[in-house]
Amino acid sequence: MEHGGVFEMALEQLGSTAKLLKMDPNTLRVLGCTERELTVHLPVVMDDGHIEVFEGHRVQHSSARGPCKGGIRYHQDVTLDEVKALSMWMTWKCAVVNIPYGGAKGGIKVDPSKLSFEEVRRLTRRYTVAIMPIIGPHRDIPAPDVNTNAETMGWIMDTVSMYQGSTVLDIVTGKSIELGGSLGRREATGRGVMFVTLELLNRMNLTPAKTRIAVQGFGNVGSVSADLLKKAGCNIQAISDISGAYYCEKGLPISDMIAYCSTGRGKTLEGFSAPGVSKIDPKELFELDVDILVPAALEKQINVENAEKIKAKAVVEGANGPTTPEAERLLIKKGKYVVPDILANAGGVVVSYFEWVQSIQSFFWDEDGVNANLKKVIVSSFDAVWDTAQREKQDLRHAAMMIAVSRVAKALEIRGIFP
């Protein structure tokens, strides 16, 4: 049975990578800690006049290679432990694709579906003011994550701008185009998953036309990944969201499912039907005889309980931390590839970096330019990870971690310890 929180899982990954790199124990000590953890309590006047107090966090793991960067999630299961782990993974994610950021993450323990639009807006503005002392365009740049979006980022940007007395476009990324957002940002994480999957298929001598895929999660990452992989010629046989799992051997009508979600109440697939589509148990999705499994929901979805039943030849991690270390060891032992989250879903932070650069320069790129630059970064990063794995006889996660951790460690060593 697996124990410990997700931060322990992140530390375990770092520890095993440090051994492979023969890292200086002093450097490991520094990288095993976060730089800053802020917990805030947020009183919000609810629509009926009573006051609720919500707990929020913002954690900065490392600023060795540049300002901290990371999303903000609104979820009823948010904990400090989870936010710490996510901030560490962000550090490695930025380093593996070689963009000049360190990792941060934020979250509020709340189920936003139980709040009104105005209550969410008031909560967001209050949270922004509470974390304002530690965020900034050259300090820590938030972005959307689970249950937050471009609208949320607009409120954060506006709140900071009101306090500063001038419009601060580069305080957050993932904004609306009208507020200095980047074209292609919304699809960036899913597009990155698509680029990585196609590169992997190439190495596995599989063509998209002969590839069957199951995607767990149909939020921004899952839906865009499924849509783009289908457009690339793959057969998306299964999809799941909180309403259940949907299966079609000949391939699901992904664009219809996306359209259904955008109009339906609650933005889920609840009640969706189409010829040849059947509902299956969400647990079954992991056990399907497919080539690629894309977990694109939350952490720890692939664990010792279901890893043995996974038939897919490869797992491409669309979500952060969806595979526990024990489960991953079982998968690798069975000869399966696991493309780690820090590489597979790095498309979002890469285009966030592009957005930040565009905001600073007040010079904006066209969408083809954004997507072409994203492809260049993701494909070259995948090549580097694949080559390292072959050379060092390591799995893809350890190869990605070796590249990422050594870059951060090098920056730390060059800078030295202050004072």
Query: Tens of pLDDT along 177-210?
Result: 999 999 999 999 999 999 999 999 999 999 999 9
Asked which of 4-18, 24-38, 329-343 is least confident by mean pLDDT, the reply is 4-18
Whether 231 is catalytic is no
Residues 6+ apart with CB under 8 A from 386: 199, 203, 396, 399
Residue 87 belongs to domain with CATH number: 3.40.50.10860
Residue 26 maps to a domain: no
Is beta strand 36-45 parallel, antiparallel or unpaired with respect to 51-60?
antiparallel
Q: Are residues 236 and 320 located together in one domain of the fold?
A: yes
Helices (H), 102-240: 117-131, 150-164, 188-203, 220-231
Largest Cα–Cα distance in the chain?
Answer: 67
User: To which H or E segment does residue 294 belong?
Assistant: strand 292-295
Q: Are residues 246 and 173 located together in one domain of the fold?
A: no
pLDDT tens for residues 263-312?
866 678 998 989 999 999 999 999 999 999 999 998 889 999 999 999 99
Q: Are residues 152 and 103 located together in one domain of the fold?
A: yes
* Separation CA 242–CA 231 (nearest Å): 24
Range of the domain at 134: 35-179
pLDDT of residue 39: 98
- pTM of whole model > 0.85? yes
Q: Are residues 159 and 220 located together in one domain of the fold?
A: no
Residue 272 belongs to domain with CATH number: 3.40.50.720
Catalytic residue among 105, 109, 175, 336: 105
Indicate the number of domains in the chain. Answer: 2
Residues 6+ apart with CB under 8 A from 83: 57, 58, 59, 105, 106, 107
Q: Are residues 197 and 320 located together in one domain of the fold?
A: yes
38, 42, 56, 109: which is closest to 78 by C-alpha?
109
pLDDT of residue 5: 85
pLDDT of residue 1: 37
